[in-house]
Structure 1
């Protein structure tokens, strides 16, 4: 059976066991399934050649024999066209997603040559086909952006929207933590229907629902790009979360006051050194067992 016929029968939920096996062997089977799962709101037109033919058949009894000779092929062509149109709609509305796991970072080139450095345990999505009309990305986690000049560029997060024209900035959005730092140009941050403009070196930070004042940032890029997480008067619980994002470890701090503020940094490539950098300033100790770290008071 031809590929188009298999896809049509799949859209009609009309595959038998043998045809289902053949459908799953198609080269682009996984892509078709991903499209179907990602865009359920775009449903393929329901079109059955046999059903439509049976509907029209009573009206064609008086027609000449040659009419029936072209009708079914015509309906089949129409069905294939409908399938092609559905696949096009699926594809044109499917977002590109890039996800990093714990301790992983990756670089992304956007369609306008803007670049994104995606930090560990983060997700970035955007629509490539509609990019020329709408420069927009969605972010969960942390990313550093170098935006090419052009029309407005938006970074949408659960906590706010960051809008620029062409600049360099960092966005961090994790649980109860939203931070935007401008490194070049001008950045607009909209949070709770209020917009704040950031100049180079300035930061907008909401932690645990509170707006925090920040000292001016003198670094040219965020520290995590160079293998280090840095904090200024941040609750230990958020430091622990970031530590777990950079190391494949789970930290137990049940008997520790994780609301204590921490100022300092830890490296991403040396576990013991990183732990000492966090625990010593807070008069804590630690023990490691497998993938678990237990924090203890001195």
Structure 2
């Protein structure tokens, strides 16, 4: 068997989070380091991000947010199960805890997801071609069913299934992150039959948990790609564009390039988080547009693309 060629969607998450993030993401796209973005419609610089995507012809999807900032659905902004006493979402772990305790209304989750798609359409002029969840909320129990229903109803074809090959053998992640990612993986695996039932699609391979922030390096990315190549395509797919009989692996690499947020500028209503203000974003930006990484893609037969190209 010849080595599979790869169609790789490199998605810059959290587009719209702040002007510094927007600037870094656009520069990264222009340098060939990312091929796709995921927009937070409730973030403070979402309108600017949507305009930048139009101006630079950047393929854009929706980063559905149920955990950070405020809802976009007005009826949910004060008295709803999705927000705390201050009108903000419960947070990455708070959302999960409220869900475990049975305190979240799935009807309200659906209302908010549909409102975010509507706002995405207002900002961009089109429906998202893919939709995933900020902080992986879309694969959580109960939420995944509502999420899949919304995607199916609106004919949004692609999502993200964060099951990363090589996660279990990763030695550089701190214990608390490893535990969180293992739970994300379990939730994602449990989502697969739900997404299949609704006809939702996703790439063969997901990458990005082991290469976030300071853990992103050309060596670690090369390692992640080798895991993806070893897995091969999920079923026999062919590159019809080139007329080749070579099997094609489809993959998504989740990344977070940008410049550090100013402390008073950014976020989704509560200000930017620590990760956004750290040097990690700029580190990712530097690695992703490093000429030696782009050369590695070429050498390995990796072609960057958007979800709409799969």
Which structure has the bigger radius of gyration? Answer: 1
State whether TM-score is above 0.5: no
Normalised by the length of structure 1, the TM-score is: 0.26
Structure number with the bigger relative contact order (C-alpha 8 A, sep ≥ 6) is 2
**TM-score normalised by the chain length of structure 2:** 0.25
Going by fraction, where is helix more abundant, 1 or 2? 2
